[in-house]
Structure 1
Amino acid sequence: MLAACASVPTAPPVPQRPPNIVLFVVDDLGWQDISVPLWSERTAFNDRYRTPNLERLAREGMSFTQAYASAPVCTPTRTAILTGQAPARSHITYWTLRKDDDTSAKFPGLLPPKWDVNGLQPEDATLPELLQEAGYRTVHVGKAHFGAVGTPGADPRNLGFDVNVAGHGAGGPGSFLGLENFSAAARKGDRVWDVPGLERWHGKDVFLEEALAAEAVEQLDAAVAAGTPFFLHFAPYSVHAPITANPRYAANYAHLDPREAAYATMIETCDAALGTLLARLDSHGIADETLVIFTSDNGGLSAHGRGGEAHTHNAPLRSGKGSCYEGGIRVPLVVRGPGVVRGTRNDWQVISADLFPTLLAAAGVGLPRDGIERDGLDLTGLLRGGWLEAERILVWHQPHFWGVNGPGIWPFSALRVRDWKLIYRHADREFEFYSLAEDPGESFDLAATATPIVLELAKVLGERLRAMGAQMSIDATTGLPVPWPDKVERPTSFGFYQF
């Protein structure tokens, strides 16, 4: 399968020394929450949101139309980026908060497995650690949410970052407003959400991402002055709840529902932060020496906290954050930098864990020889206008309930190969099967009429999960794991399809 690229195969030359890397990971940003169209046609959402700096990045780089988060919630995806491991393999299959605390919501008839509730820890080999060892200055700014509060992994400096600004173990901010000290105190919330390390911005009329961008360019300046390559992991807390309007952009969305208008201002604030970073790269004359990656940790919020009809905010995709459907896992991905073909769109299926080997390869750093299996693929060939030689099989595994009712928000395992997608529901041991080429909105479940394909895909999914050492949901009645997808009692496979 060839990468679908435009007809202008130009790219900045690969520099002599390792490139700088800026990894920009937005929180809860949906596939349609940008003005860059990633579908076959431009949508109303693309026209609603204003992301001119991302448009620039897309013109100067490569946009992926079928990029996926490794999970439909934050921590598993963020740790997959840092380790290259799928959540099914790392056992970090859900979002973390406090030490030894299972955040899984209760689901009728099921219990979560004994997953890694504390998240990423210093003994894990991470992307920043490996880059640090290779001479990079490694900087984290913004949301971390790699490890639980009260554990070493809550502090990014214990995971390979030289500098940590505002990152800790919580996955959302107490407040987005400097006038509220970025604290939950103003809404009488749990202070675990208070954003640390930004005291100099307290009491000021500044939005959180504006403060983070200012902090980031200071760190960027310091790295340039030091003359070393740098890795900047910039992670806005937006557009996570509490959805909060940035008054500087409110006039652009006065025609929208107030909650949706507030959401749109948060997106534009993130884009402005991207613009701040791009401008500083330009001013230092290092734009062509810097690899910039823009993405999100999961699909857009749609189940609650938004205006309008729930579960529709990622259309044409179905559902949103927390869901096994495309709205919960498909995300924007735009890459610009040395060797990346400019102004192109790529239709290959890629996933968050791919960033680990890809960025290491860009830096000239080999994969760790620690005997640990990793799931990401190096995308260098795609970025340079080529293709992947192997057929891609993507796997998702979330043996947890997000706690919000909605389509696809239940414990599940899923697989995509070619344009086929299989979903295995842990609760009732049933399958759903979709052909995404014809049905990206997953409106027509073909499982009942495509038994041979379903059986073969279930076999592949079961084999993949076992190879990863995945933990299945627990049947609350028997205390045993639910059956693997290919061990559920079904008619014998016809064997028509092999993968």
Structure 2
Amino acid sequence: MHLQVYRAIAIAVISAVFAAPAALGQNSKPNIIFIVADDLGYGNLTSYNNKSQIPTPNIDRLGTEGIRYTSFYAGNTVCAPSRCALLTGKHMGHAYIRGNTRLPIRPQDSTLAQLLQQNGYVTGMFGKWGLGEAGTTGSPEIKGFDEFYGYLNQGHAHDYYTNYLFEVKNGKISRIPHDTTIYTHDAIMEHALSFIKKNKDKPFFLFLPVTIPHAELDPPAKDMQPFLNADGSSRFPPETPYLQNGGTYRSQKNPHAAFAAMITKLDNNVGEVEALIKELGLDDNTYIFFTSDNGPHKEGGADPAYFNSNGPLRGIKRDLYEGGIRVPMLVRAPGKVPAGRVSDQQWAFWDILPTFTDITHSHTLAGIDGVSFKQSLTGDTQIAKHDYFYWQFNEGYLQEAVLKGEWKLIRFKYKGQPEKFELYDLGTDIGEKKNLALVNPAKVKELSILMKKAKMPAENKEFDWSGTEK
């Protein structure tokens, strides 16, 4: 064989050998889809509550084909601070945003999306942001998102038939008109599915903080129809019509039926995401996470008691009882997350950042509160864990909670009144029915010390609660 032919063959072989690891390395970066429901209760999924009246087979399947966590916690009991904890890896003792607000996160508040973006990920967010308006330091294109479509703040997100939304393209954010006859959630889902199709050949991070099943309870007629009888009455009687009367949300004759329609729509959407991932051949390299930003709401005619939305838990949104902060978490990733497991390990939103950077081999952040639970996902023995968890919230009065093992202490402080403590053993009392503060003062003292240790003074005066303490 001619010498030049040998040389050509040798060069081709060497090129293939050196090219293969690079290609393998690129393809081995897993895609991540992180779906966050808005105000979905722990008991609104049939896999968490056998008394649920609304089947959720697609969401439940994420857990049966992956792992379902039963002791997973939101960052807070309302949306903006919960999202801050999720994206910055800091709990409420250290996070900048500690309450529902329209303040932006700061330039120094690095986010999970920025870290993944720096590692070559295409990043997209579709739904509700809540951490900064356009033109501020917290605008989504500044905080790591290549694409965005949806609402910038939680107040605007109450209107599902708004005449405008926001969009990020090519590094710029724009206010764009929206057809008021189109349910915004449907448009948000269309953009999310399009993002997956467009980026199927690249590693991508899809953050999908949808706006349902929050109020307003006004889904499209086609979604309501399966939950109404032939005469237009609800299949979930008795119904108490919700009347707007100048309030935030639209009137709804059948709020129970509307809520059922929203849960079903959300479940169908998750099924669409699962089906698309399989259709595109991405199934074996994609993590799908599903959770909620806090507990169930009681707004706009919503009736969490009727649907047993918090399951065995006490409390709803705006409470630091378990019903306000314990949320579903299901994770599916064939070949990466062994199927059919249920875990009672305790994790929280501030653990998402280090877990995702661990999964993707991305640079992580120092000085955060989160711990990676990647080993828990893969089925390996999880060594790293939390010594304790901490939350704080103030709307009218101060609430603080610390959880250490199965012991949970909640502190209540109204302005001008003495502080009050409630102590619960979640191992024997998940419903927080028996306050043990008076019979176990030693545990109250121990956890009170931890509560003080867990927090730093709020940097922004909007979250300075020193007046409440007096």
TM-score by length of 2: 0.81
Give the aligned residue type for 1:461: M
| 1:473 partnered with 2:469 | no
| 1:250 partnered with 2:224 | yes
Structure 1 counterpart of 2:325: 329
Bigger mean CA deviation after superposition, 447-456 or 334-343: 334-343
| 1:348 partnered with 2:322 | no
| 1:319 partnered with 2:295 | no
Structure 2 counterpart of 1:455: 445
Separation in 1, partners of 2:225, 2:85: 38
Instruction: Give the alignment's Cα RMSD to 1 decimal.
Output: 2.7
Structure 1 counterpart of 2:261: 265
Between the aligned residues of both structures, percent identity stands at 29
Contact 2:39 2:317 in 1 (8 A): yes
Contact 2:74 2:349 in 1 (8 A): yes
Compared CA separation, residues 171 and 233, structure 1 to 2 (3 A): farther
Match for residue 404 of structure 2 among 412, 417, 426: 417
Contact 2:113 2:145 in 1 (8 A): yes
Shift of 1:121: 3.5
Structure 1 counterpart of 2:166: 196
Structure 1 counterpart of 2:83: 78
Q: Please, which runs of 5 or more residues in structure 1 have no aligned partner?
A: 1-13, 98-117, 184-193, 404-409, 483-499
Give the aligned residue type for 1:140: M
Match for residue 132 of structure 2 among 127, 147, 160: 147
Structure 1 counterpart of 2:213: 239
Shift of 1:270: 1.4
Separation in 2, partners of 1:347, 1:137: 33
Map 1:281-296; keep pairs closer than 5 Å. Answer: 281-296=277-292
Separation in 2, partners of 1:16, 1:464: 41
Give the aligned residue type for 1:237: T
Separation in 2, partners of 1:43, 1:172: 34
Structure 2 counterpart of 1:496: none
Shift of 1:473: 2.2
Shift of 1:142: 0.9
Separation in 1, partners of 2:276, 2:425: 44
SS in 2 for 1:234: strand
Separation in 1, partners of 2:302, 2:451: 34
SS in 2 for 1:447: coil
Q: How many residues align?
A: 411
Structure 2 counterpart of 1:4: none
Shift of 1:278: 1.4
Map 1:322-471; keep pairs closer than 5 Å. Answer: 322-337=318-333, 338-368=335-365, 372-390=366-384, 392-401=386-395, 410-427=397-414, 428-466=418-456
Map 1:111-126; keep pairs closer than 5 Å. Answer: 118-126=103-111
Contact 1:302 1:314 in 2 (8 A): no
Contact 1:246 1:266 in 2 (8 A): no
Separation in 2, partners of 1:466, 1:168: 28
Separation in 2, partners of 1:342, 1:261: 33
Shift of 1:44: 1.6
SS in 1 for 2:42: coil
Separation in 2, partners of 1:201, 1:148: 18
| 1:67 partnered with 2:75 | no
Shift of 1:230: 0.5
| 1:19 partnered with 2:11 | no
Compared CA separation, residues 123 and 336, structure 1 to 2 (3 A): same
Give a deviation string over 1:362-411, Cα, whole Å, max 9, x none: 1111313xxx510111011111113433553443333411x6xxxxxx41
Contact 1:172 1:237 in 2 (8 A): no
Shift of 1:70: 1.2
Shift of 1:273: 1.6
Give the aligned residue type for 1:453: K
Shift of 1:472: 6.2
Map 1:18-37; keep pairs closer than 5 Å. Answer: 18-37=29-48
Contact 1:21 1:290 in 2 (8 A): yes
Contact 1:149 1:170 in 2 (8 A): no
Match for residue 137 of structure 1 among 111, 114, 122: 122
Structure 1 or 2, whichever has the larger Rg, is 2
Give a deviation string over 1:247-302, Cα, whole Å, max 9, x none: 33334433213212211211111122212211111111001101111111111113
SS in 2 for 1:456: helix
Compared CA separation, residues 361 and 49, structure 1 to 2 (3 A): same
Structure 2 counterpart of 1:44: 51
Contact 1:143 1:166 in 2 (8 A): yes
